[in-house]
Amino acid sequence: MSSLAKQISVPIFSGQNYDYWAIKMKTYFQSQKLWELVEEGVTLPEDSSTSSSAEKGKLENKKAKDSEALYYIQTAVADHIFPRISVATSAKEAWSILQKEYEGSAKVRIIKLQTLTRDFENMKMKDYETIDEYYTKVRELVNQLKAYGEDIPEKRVVEKLLISVTEKYDPIVITIEETKDITTLTVNELVGSLEAYEKRRSIEKLTGLGTLSQFNYAERDWSKLGYLKELDQLSGSLELHIRLHDRQDVDEARKARLINKIHIEDMSFFFVRDAMGRSEEGELVRNEALEALQPPPKLKYLMIFGFRGTRFPSWISPSCHSHLRRLNIEECNYISTLPCLGKLPELVELAVGGMRELKFVGREFLGIEGDIKSWSGICFPMLTHLSFRGCPQWEEWEDIMADDEEEEEGRSTTMKIMPCLMALTITECGLTVLPHWLLRRPSLWSYIPGIETQ
């Protein structure tokens, strides 16, 4: 007996589900290299006296293996089944007895196969069933058909699922039939799409839902942003994973009405790479979609990651988000200017990374409009941590402080820039010179390699 056989326990047949038990036993015998003996038996020579010693040794080895296989069969049946095979002297004989009694004759098998085939053809999803429940029933029936020798190709199962789900799945079924190659679509892919649609559709009805940590809007037809429309009781944090397709997505973004989710304080936008290219229409769609996704006014944390548009939305402003404390802008590689952030009254942390088109940071970033000499106020009044990373084309940070010390001293009482700043980090950027007002504050240079500080 092999070490593998000692580790594996054989399945026990108690009179039910013979087909499944037989499949498991066949696999077990194949793993032990015994299936050929069970299926064909041991052929004894008519006259063993003429056999060589080597042939006799092989025969004895086969007999020993056959006894081993017979023992496994005897062990794998319940006590009330054992008497049926107790007189069998070979594995093939014991297997044939069980097969004939529980699998039935050829005629019985044909009738059973016809019944299973009819059940498969007539099977329909019930209104109360989920995709997982219905697919489990279909899979069990397919396995029974295979056990009776009927080959059910994957394409047939896919087609069966598409025509037998309930009417509420019609939108996704139509989309799949129009956009997918049914001949190559796998069952797992289909079931995954149906389940995704099922989950998104159920969200629409959860008007009292309090938390939703993540919402994936990748395949528009069964994962619509508009499903969020009535979920105004959401609170805490919300991640939106978004793949934009075309102008229809702008309408979906408006339907989401994120601005009404007034209990959400933490919101992140993760944009999945889309297939619109760098066309003018594609850029308009991206810009308008993000503009339509205006978060609620009491937001405290905002992340925008992977946005492929060409401008930031107008709602990143003190008039819309005066309570914003942390802002993270990452991998927005097609935007060349930063939004006006200096007037955000409660902003404490700002991180900018992966803006590969950023070349110039001007006074607008600080919230300064028009002539500097006539401007007074505090830029970034609460900001303590500022970091820039991965902006290789950024070469200039506008120095709004005049070189003339007298002019600068004259303005010092009316203009302040980042008075609470504690740490500044600049890495992987093209900037080589800091603006004058930063040069005078070496204590906050947290990490700025390659930048002239003299």
- 78: DSSP letter: -
Res. 411: pLDDT tops 80? no
Quote the domain boundaries for residue 114.
106-191
**CATH number for 429:** 3.80.10
Please tell me whether residues 83 and 171 are part of one structural domain: no
Residue 452 lies in a domain: no
Overall number of domains in the chain: 3
Residue 198 lies in a domain: no
Residue 203 lies in a domain: no
Please tell me whether residues 99 and 122 are part of one structural domain: no
What confidence score (pLDDT) does residue 405 get?
A: 44
Residue 196 lies in a domain: no
Nearest CA to 335 out of 294, 283, 387 is that of 283
Please tell me whether residues 274 and 326 are part of one structural domain: yes
Residues 6+ positions from 209 with CB-CB distance below 8 Å: 203, 231, 233, 234
Which residue has 């047939």 as its token pair?
156
The last residue of one of the domains, among 76, 103, 130, is 103
Please tell me whether residues 305 and 280 are part of one structural domain: yes
Say how far apart CA 11 and CA 22 lie, in whole Å: 9
Render pLDDT for 162-188 as a digit per residue (tens, 0 to 9). 999 999 899 899 989 988 898 899 999
Render pLDDT for 4-23 as a digit per residue (tens, 0 to 9). 445 567 889 888 878 888 88
Residue 11 lies in a domain: yes
What confidence score (pLDDT) does residue 412 get?
A: 47
> Is-contact 283 309, C-beta < 8 A?
yes
From first CA to last CA, the distance across the chain in angstroms is 81
pLDDT band at 303 (very low <50, low <70, confident <90, very high): very high
Burial 110-131 (b: 16+ CB within 10 A, else e): eebbeebeeebeeeebeeeeeb
Res. 220: pLDDT tops 70? no
What confidence score (pLDDT) does residue 263 get?
A: 94
Please tell me whether residues 176 and 321 are part of one structural domain: no
Please tell me whether residues 225 and 359 are part of one structural domain: yes
Residue 204 lies in a domain: no
Render pLDDT for 182-213 as a digit per residue (tens, 0 to 9). 889 999 999 988 988 887 777 767 777 788 78
Please tell me whether residues 93 and 230 are part of one structural domain: no
Please tell me whether residues 429 and 362 are part of one structural domain: yes
Please tell me whether residues 232 and 261 are part of one structural domain: yes
Residue 159 lies in a domain: yes
The last residue of one of the domains, among 74, 103, 132, is 103
The last residue of one of the domains, among 61, 84, 103, is 103
Residue 332 lies in a domain: yes
Strand ranges for 106-223 from DSSP E = 214-217
> pTM for the whole thing?
0.60
With a pLDDT cut of 70, the percent of the chain lying above it is 89
> Is-contact 447 409, C-beta < 8 A?
no
Render pLDDT for 366-375 as a digit per residue (tens, 0 to 9). 988 777 776 7
CA 113 vs CA 120, 162, 348: distances in Å = 10, 23, 71
Please tell me whether residues 299 and 442 are part of one structural domain: yes
Please tell me whether residues 320 and 265 are part of one structural domain: yes
Please tell me whether residues 214 and 72 are part of one structural domain: no
Lowest model confidence (mean pLDDT) among 56-65, 112-121, 370-379: 370-379
Render pLDDT for 30-64 as a digit per residue (tens, 0 to 9). 988 999 988 888 887 766 666 678 877 888 888 89
